[in-house]
Each structure stands twice: as structure tokens, then as C-alpha cells.
Amino acid sequence: MKSTSQKEQLVIQGEKNLSNIIIGGSLTDVENYIPVGKVIILTDNNVFRLYSSDFPDYPVIRIGTGEGIKDLRTVDYVYEKLMELNADRTYFLLAIGGGLVCDIAGFVASTYMRGIRFGFVSTTLLSQVDASVGGKNGVNFRGIKNLIGVFNQPEFVICDHRLFKTLPEKEFFSGMAEVLKYALIKDAYLLKILEQDMEKIRKWDPDMIHEIVLRSVKIKKEIVEKDESEKGLRRLLNFGHTFGHAIENVHDLRHGEAISYGMLIATYISEKEGSLNTFDASRIRSFIMTSGLISKININVIRVREVFMTDKKREGDLIHFVLLRSIGEAFFKPMKIENLEKHLQEWADSFIKI
């Protein structure tokens, strides 16, 4: 794979601090961004195995992989290792990994000794376009995703696209689903790029990857800066996630595949509610159905409905549901749970016939 020299820096203005996002930066340059001399690295076993030879020379804490370890036990383990390494408040925690490592590192760094400084080298497509950008950090609790967490921006996020060459294909699609989400809520041109150049992107063409990561992060930055703590606008980032989370839970799918189903359902509802025209709805449907984002399983509607009823974002019998007005324009409105359930059933009936 030819290497790209493209590098672009975006600054996210959080409520408490700034976060520097270096798109096209390099793991091997990370030391230029670390503000202090005492550093501890947090990574997972896979990333350590593949890339530790490129890590700067600091002590490393390693954790396992998989969503099952994203809990307070792992946080406890990392606190203990920090104590063993005599880390005090002058230390810097450097996470090198995907969304899981970054979410845990952000939470640990924000709470250990009431907070130490931290930064990320983001190693998956999903974490570059979504997880590591925006200042949400946290872990799962009693099976509920990200129930325990904090808002706090990393000082920097280095998005090194060269690390993608070792990513398994399923991780490509997992990140791609979030890229599609940005296209649908804010960037019609991005959908055009995806439709035209999916093959190149899939082969990690450096220029294409740079373009789609940059466009995605710009959108997340714009939204997060206006609403860091999800009181309003940030809800748009939940497009496809209301039903997506329920499907992820029931079918044990990767997040990206689950939210691709969620986006299909939200597109269907946008059309049925009269906000999205049939032409745009068909275009979205056909992209999701043919791009490899979903494996076309039979969705268990009864179970999905049960999980959906327990959605932590519901307010009484309403949910702020994100709909499309057109490709590239989203809005949210309070919708009755009952109405959404009816749409879900109708979507499932129509989906089976596709």
C-alpha cells in the first residue's frame, strides 16, 4: 500500500479543554504530541502484537480484547497497574488502540487521582471516525453499554491510516457504517463518494481513506462543538442507533452491521412519516443492501421490540427519534414508542419480502 503524506489537523473545542485531531498522523511521530516526560501506554493484546515495535519507549499496560472486557473490572486492573508503576498526577496516559482501548483509557485517565492527562493513537476506522473523537469515555455496566462514563476530551487523537492494513474486513464494515451515517445526516457528497469508490476504499486506498475520515471527523467536530454533552444537536449522531442498539443486543452483531439495519429502519420511517422522498429512500436502501454492510439475517422483531422498550434514552412514552429530510439532512422529533413499534413491524414485514 502506498503511503500517503496527507496530514490535516482539526481542533475540537470542548467545554473544558481542546482536542487536537491529527488526520493522517503517524504512530511513529506520537512523541511530538506528548506534553510531558512521564508516560504510560495502554493498549490491547492484538495491537501490541502487531505494532509494539513502533511504540515509543514507555511502560505498557496491556488489556484483552472484545466488548466483554469493557467493564469496571478492567478499569480496576488498569488502576492497579498504574499504582504499581507509581503513576502520580504528573503522568500522561497514552492509549494506542481502537474504540475499546480509547474509551477505557479516557475513563481511567479522567478518574485516576481525579484526572491525569491523556491522548490517543486511534487504530481502527470506527475509532478514528467516531469513538476517539468527541470526548465520551466510559465502560459497560450490568450489560448496559457505556452506562458509566465521563465527558472529557483527549489532548490529541492521532489517526494513523497506515495501521488499517492489518484490520480484519469485519472491522472495515463496522467503521464504514458510521461513515455512511455521517453521509446521510450531513454530507450528501460523501454518499456519492461511497457509491462510486467503495472498491478503492475497501482496499484502503490512502487518498480515499484520508478523504472519508476527514469528512466524517469534520461533521462530528461541528456537532460536538455545538453540543458536547448531548442535550440537543448531538442526538443527530444517533441516526440508526435507536433500533440499531436493540438489534445489536438481540443478534450479537458487530455495532456497524446492527446500525446499518437501524439506518434501514430509520430511512423507512422517514419515508412513511412523509419527511423523505421515495427516490432518496430507495437510494439509501440499495446502497446498504449491496455494499456488504449487512449480511441479511432474519431480524427477530419480537425480541428487538422488547429490548427497544428498555431504551435508556426514552422519556416516558416518547423517544427523540432521528429522521431524514433528505440525504445529508437530518432532524429529530419526539415520537411515540407505540408508533415506532408499529413502523418496526411494518418494516420487518416489508424487509422479509425484499
Ligand X SMILES: NC(=O)c1ccc[n+]([C@@H]2O[C@H](COP(=O)([O-])OP(=O)(O)OC[C@H]3O[C@@H](n4cnc5c(N)ncnc54)[C@H](O)[C@@H]3O)[C@@H](O)[C@H]2O)c1
Measured from the CB of residue 127, what is the shortest distance to ligand X in angstroms?
4
Pick from 62, 110, 117, 171 the residue near ligand X by CB under 6 A: 171
Residue 336 has a CB neighbour count (10 Å cut-off) of 13
234 binds ligand X (CB under 6 A): no
99 binds ligand X (CB under 6 A): yes
Calculate the alpha carbon distances from 211 to 206, 215, 267, 318, 338 in Å. Answer: 9, 6, 25, 37, 40
Q: Which among 13-21, 130-138, 195-203, 327-335 is the span making contact with ligand X, rule CB under 6 A?
A: 130-138
Pick from 24, 25, 44, 120 the residue near ligand X by CB under 6 A: 44
* Strand partners of residue 212: none
Pick from 28, 29, 50, 197 the residue near ligand X by CB under 6 A: 50
Pick from 70, 81, 210, 241 the residue near ligand X by CB under 6 A: 70
Joined together, the cell numbers standing for residue 323 give: 429522521
* Nearer CB in complex with ligand X: 76/84: 76
340 binds ligand X (CB under 6 A): no
Q: Which among 109-117, 128-136, 266-274, 294-302 is the span making contact with ligand X, rule CB under 6 A?
A: 128-136
- The answer to whether residues 152 and 113 touch, using CB atoms and an 8 Å cutoff, is no
Q: How many residues bind ligand X (CB under 6 A)?
A: 28
- Sequence-distant (≥ 6) Cβ neighbours of residue 63 within 8 angstroms: 42, 43, 44, 45, 69, 74, 77, 78, 101, 104
* Nearer CB in complex with ligand X: 53/298: 53
Measured from the CB of residue 163, what is the shortest distance to ligand X in angstroms?
4
Cα separation, 30 vs 22, whole angstroms: 10
**Largest Cα–Cα separation, the chain:** 61
* Nearer CB in complex with ligand X: 173/351: 173
Cα separation, 222 vs 186, whole angstroms: 10
Cα separation, 13 vs 132, whole angstroms: 15
163 binds ligand X (CB under 6 A): yes
136 binds ligand X (CB under 6 A): yes
Percentages of the chain per state (helix, strand, coil), in multiples of 5: 55, 20, 25
Cα separation, 40 vs 91, whole angstroms: 7
179 binds ligand X (CB under 6 A): no
Listing DSSP states for 167-210 in one string gives: S-HHHHHHHHHHHHHHHHHH-HHHHHHHHHHHHHHHTT-HHHHH
* Nearer CB in complex with ligand X: 239/347: 239
Pick from 42, 61, 126, 322 the residue near ligand X by CB under 6 A: 126
Cα separation, 152 vs 171, whole angstroms: 26
Pick from 3, 17, 166, 229 the residue near ligand X by CB under 6 A: 166
Pick from 14, 24, 98, 119 the residue near ligand X by CB under 6 A: 98
65 binds ligand X (CB under 6 A): yes
Q: Which among 24-32, 41-49, 277-285, 311-319 is the span making contact with ligand X, rule CB under 6 A?
A: 41-49
Strand 60-63 to 39-44 pairing: parallel
Phi, psi of 26 (to 5 degrees): -130, 140
101 binds ligand X (CB under 6 A): yes
244 binds ligand X (CB under 6 A): no
Cα separation, 74 vs 63, whole angstroms: 8
130 binds ligand X (CB under 6 A): yes
223 binds ligand X (CB under 6 A): no
* Nearer CB in complex with ligand X: 116/167: 167
Q: Which among 12-20, 95-103, 280-288, 344-352 is the span making contact with ligand X, rule CB under 6 A?
A: 95-103
Q: Which residues bind ligand X (CB under 6 A)?
A: 44, 46-47, 50, 65, 67, 70, 97-101, 103, 123-124, 126-127, 130-131, 134, 136, 145-146, 163, 166-167, 171, 174
